Chains A and B, each alone.
Chain A
Amino acid sequence: MNLITNKAKVLLERFHPMPQNAVSIQIPIVPSKEKALRSTLDEINSNAADNRIIPFAQFDSVHFARFIILEGIDDEKNYGTTLVFMANIDGPISTFVDQLANKCPKGIDKIFKSCTAYPAAAHRSRSSRREFLLAHSLDTQAFYVNTIGRTALQIRQQSELQESLQVFLNSLDQDTIESAKLLRETVIEFVTEQPELSWAIAKQAQPSLLWRSIENVRFTALLAFGLLILLWAWPVLVSWALTLRVKEFSDEEDTKRPDLNYLKQLRASEDIAAHNPFAAIGYLKSGWLRKTTASSLLVAAQVVLRHVFNKGDLAGVPALGLDGVDTIHFARWTMLDDRKRLLFTSNYDGSLESYMVDFIDKVSWGLNLIFSNGKGYPKTKWIVKDGARKEQRFKDYLGNHQIENQVWYTAYPHLTANNISNNEAIQNGLRGHMSERSARSWLKRF
């Protein structure tokens, strides 16, 4: 069955591929091998970009990658620890897994032989490794991409361009600059003359018209479907909301503060780059109603993330007075253990404190919508109110649910999402005609 769905996915990817994809792989660990696995992962993490097991920097398509050793669910008597691998990549998942199997067969063996059902040494081949990884792929319920279609390679190249142009501007004599227009022309001339920068003059690859049209048709259809539901089923939705409101009164909110030593352990690996990885896991509230609410909201979130919040600003709707967050590179929600638990992972700019402040100050409503279905979440009112706004409860809740990443890789550790979009605008400004005024605003990007 798995094989068939995987094949279907591969076909779908071929017909209408999403430019970026979320790799999620979860495999049970053999208890006796956990210790060895931990030391392997430590070795990778000591230099995730360039190590002998999986040198992530050699994969141009990878934005971020991580390994998590995830403890099993509480009520399980047996050892339920699994290894979770996640990556945010350009291009199809199958292509990436192929590359992984081709480039690092020994590394894959070293990591995944700690997992159950990994092929025995005699049966290992490129295709057996590939099939093993794909067979343990997880579905992502909702996936946020800061800007759909922006590749990791492009991000790194545009950063180099920005740096070279800064140096070039520093070399100019300020007094010789007559106008913004002329200065821009000087910059363009400089770029054209540099063989290693000349790529920047060409228009960057963009999703085709066909691709964009299909996206638009898809969104229109889903929107129409959503409206139909609203029109026909509003009494159901209203009673649903009322029932949830009643349930909110008896929701139990976590009042326990997280263990300080655990927090210190988490913090020890944070704040070593312009951005950080975040990972948190929690149980969904029990009962059919809450689980269905969570699943439906994630489905809706996925539509909105893919079609609306795909240009750098998450959850910002100026017309409704809703403020967005422009500091998140990627985020995803993954249901685990037969919808018992929800795993949230993201890569965000700045420190955890500033991330939480953004959650509380700017997008608490959106967070509440999804996370209020989690056990122990600060009490909400009408699903969107309170919740994350209860600063201390919310921070404690995150502390109680945050988990460690055993390995974290970032392809561009010095860049914030804001830097990345500015760099892109710098490259785009190298083409075409500009008035003095537009040239001035383009130059402000330096």
Chain B
Amino acid sequence: MTSNSMLDLNDIQGIIARGYSSLAAASYLLLSITDGQTAKPWLRDTLGQVTFADMTSGMQAVNIAMTHSGISKLNNDSVILDSFSNEFRTGMTTTHKQHILGDENESAPSTWDWGGPNTKTVDVLLLCYAIDQTHLDQLVESLLVGSNENGLSLIKQLGTEKLENAKEHFGFRDGIGQPFYKEFASENKKHPNNNVNNTVALGEILLGHENGYKRLTQRPMVPKKLDPRNVLSQSCDNDALNDLGLNGSYLVFRQLSQDVSQFWKSMQELEQKTTSPDPIRLASKMVGRWPSGTPLVASPDHDIDDGEDKNNFEYHKEDSEGLKCPLGSHIRRTNPRDSLEPEPGTKKSSDFSNRHRLLRRGRPYGKPFDSSMDPKVFLANLDKEDKPESRGLHFICLNANIGRQFEFVQHTWANNPNFNGLYKDSDPIIGNRFSNNLKQDQFTVQQCPARTQYRGLPSFVQMKGGGYFFVPSKRALTFLFS
């Protein structure tokens, strides 16, 4: 069940192979399709501007993703529509998904700015990148020309903000722990990720290729008679079908708002009771890395800010009990590496974790609390804003199986109050504080002889919008737009 070994980079959208870090400005356009037939020519034109994995990004890049609703407006054949994954078809907002994803109370879909039940249905997502804001503005303007007259309407344009030292808004360097795909190695050269235990099967991100079980992940198909000109390649596991999923991926988008002053004020308050209060140490314990990105496993007592991204570490041998990096910390939950059953400390354990990996492509939005992005400066000026500025993270990740990857990480690891043998501890940074009808607002720092337990954590991030998207290959886009 292996697919052809030569990867057709010209068929794969660029965002899958790289994050366009050289393109500092980015914005995300959310569109709805008001008339599928008139939208197709416009979409075909846009397809001409889409960046594929074989192209150099140069001054700008455009990628396109669609929701299930969007695809249904272009092609209403139920055989095709039903062949997408259950999670993609279900979307992010059912009551059950709210339990799974922790989108309850103040994060409930009914309160979202977009993607929820009370806002316009999102059909198309255009991811636009440019070398600077001026070029980005021109790109967006040129992209949107004629959209209104051609069966589309812009719902929202989501801006992004490049923060100093690649940090997220709370002041921590972000995006270090990415899975490594050797097929895209040239793109990831700079990342310290290419150790054996961090190498993930291509099929975990790209549909139609071998996944972590050495099989092909379920993906959308088109009966041959519906693709008479064979725009799509034939499915490698069924002669009667053409492969709509091949070289595509699923994209999860979550707009997470962050209240920076509340976060750091909470750290101060939680530390008050301790003998040597250190809000930055506590926040780092929660993240699992220091503000510079240095992992606590490598340096448990102090930050080492040497400008180097450190990702070459494991948990089991170094810190199986969480004395350095707490068992419930954010990065230990979202990528437990070799720390979980089966057989912690072995490749078996890493392989298990690696079947639940996410390739992150998100960017922060909103002005920084302080342009230095230094938590020490934040702490010295906590009352500088009369009302909190709207800021946060446009969390975007790619995966081949939303259920086994994104939803699993979110529910079984991040939001799980019982993760790693804990009791009422949800992810200290992104976790939902109320689930299973109980408060889940503890954070436990393992120590010898006795742990320190913090209680009454508020939730630090709120959902503002989101959705599940499909990132089609070039062939799939050509098929859908014809």
Residues of A in contact with B (beta carbons under 8 Å apart): 162, 166, 169-170, 172-175, 177, 179-180, 183, 257, 260, 263-264, 267-268, 270-274, 323, 326, 349-351, 353-354, 357, 360-362, 389-392, 413-416, 418-419, 422, 439-440, 443-444, 446
Contact = CB atoms under 8 A, between A and B. Distances in A.
A349 B437 CA distance: 16
Nearest to A159: B423
Nearest to A263: B86
B402 to A, nearest CB: 10
B406 to A, nearest CB: 11
Contacts of B352: 361
A173 to B, nearest CB: 8
Interface in B399-449: 403-404, 407-408, 411-412, 416-418, 421, 423-424, 436-438, 446, 448-449
Contacts of B265: none
Nearest to A313: B341
Nearest to B452: A174
A53 to B, nearest CB: 21
Contacts of B100: 271, 351
Interface in B176-222: 211, 213, 215, 217-218
Contacts of B407: 353
A419 B416 contact: no
B455 interface: yes
A391 B216 CA distance: 9
B82 interface: yes
Given A179-B449, A360-B213, A419-B423, A174 B218 contact: no
B215 A272 contact: no
Given A390-B215, A413-B437, A264 B94 contact: yes
Nearest to B422: A419
Given A272-B99, A274-B417, A349-B418, A174 B446 contact: no
Question: Which 6 residue pairs spanning A and B have beta carbons closest together?
Answer: A323-B342, A180-B449, A267-B96, A354-B412, A271-B99, A416-B418
B418 A357 contact: no
A304 to B, nearest CB: 19
A272 B86 contact: no
Contacts of B453: 166, 169-170, 446
B90 interface: yes
B274 interface: yes
30 contacts: A162-B423, A169-B453, A172-B450, A174-B274, A180-B448, A257-B82, A260-B86, A260-B89, A260-B90, A263-B86, A268-B94, A268-B95, A270-B96, A270-B99, A273-B436, A273-B437, A274-B436, A323-B341, A323-B343, A350-B411, A350-B412, A353-B407, A353-B412, A391-B217, A392-B218, A415-B418, A416-B418, A418-B421, A419-B421, A440-B448
Given A173-B275, A270-B99, A349-B418, 17 more contacts: A166-B423, A169-B453, A172-B450, A175-B275, A177-B449, A183-B449, A268-B95, A271-B100, A323-B341, A323-B343, A350-B416, A351-B100, A360-B213, A392-B215, A392-B218, A414-B436, A446-B451
A323 B346 CA distance: 13
Interface in B83-131: 86, 89-90, 94-96, 99-100
Nearest to B98: A271
Contacts, number: 120
B321 interface: yes
A208 B256 CA distance: 56
A230 to B, nearest CB: 28
Contact of B450 (A174, A391, A392, A422): A174
Main secondary structure of the interface of B (DSSP, over half): loop
A398 B421 CA distance: 28
Of the listed residues A175, A360, A439, A443, the one surrounded by the most CB atoms of chain B closer than 10 A to its CB is: A443
A351 B412 contact: yes
Contact of A357 (B408, B423, B450, B452): B408
A329 to B, nearest CB: 13
A350 B411 CA distance: 8
Nearest to B411: A351
Nearest to A166: B453
Contact of B404 (A270, A353, A390): A353
A265 to B, nearest CB: 10
B105 to A, nearest CB: 15
Given A271-B411, A273-B436, A177 B450 contact: yes
A361 B342 contact: yes
Contacts of A268: 94-96
A162 B404 CA distance: 33
A325 to B, nearest CB: 9
A389 B355 CA distance: 13
Contacts of B451: 169, 443-444, 446
Contacts of B96: 264, 267-268, 270-271
Interface of B: 82, 86, 89-90, 94-96, 99-100, 211, 213, 215, 217-218, 274-275, 321, 341-343, 348, 352, 355, 403-404, 407-408, 411-412, 416-418, 421, 423-424, 436-438, 446, 448-453, 455
Contacts of B341: 323, 326, 362
Of the listed residues B89, B96, B421, the one surrounded by the most CB atoms of chain A closer than 10 A to its CB is: B96
A272 B437 contact: yes
Contacts of A267: 94, 96
Given A350-B412, A419-B418, A357 B448 contact: no
Nearest to B349: A323
Contacts of A172: 450
A270 B94 CA distance: 12
B411 A446 contact: no
Given A166-B453, A174-B275, A444-B321, A418 B94 contact: no
Contacts of B213: 360, 389, 391
A354 B410 CA distance: 11
Contacts of A174: 274-275, 450, 452
B454 to A, nearest CB: 9
A353 B437 contact: no
A428 B184 CA distance: 53
Contacts of A389: 213
Of the listed residues B274, B416, B455, the one surrounded by the most CB atoms of chain A closer than 10 A to its CB is: B416
A366 B266 CA distance: 48
Nearest to A326: B341
Nearest to B407: A353
Contacts of A272: 99, 436-437
Contacts of A354: 408, 411-412
A382 B342 CA distance: 24
A120 B359 CA distance: 65
A446 B418 contact: no
Nearest to A266: B96
B150 to A, nearest CB: 32
B441 to A, nearest CB: 13
Of the listed residues B342, B408, B453, the one surrounded by the most CB atoms of chain A closer than 10 A to its CB is: B342
B342 A362 contact: yes
B248 to A, nearest CB: 16
A183 B447 CA distance: 13
A391 B218 CA distance: 9
A134 B325 CA distance: 54
A240 B447 CA distance: 56
B450 A446 contact: yes
Contacts of A166: 423, 453
Nearest to B421: A418
A299 to B, nearest CB: 28
Given A353-B407, A391-B215, A274 B418 contact: yes
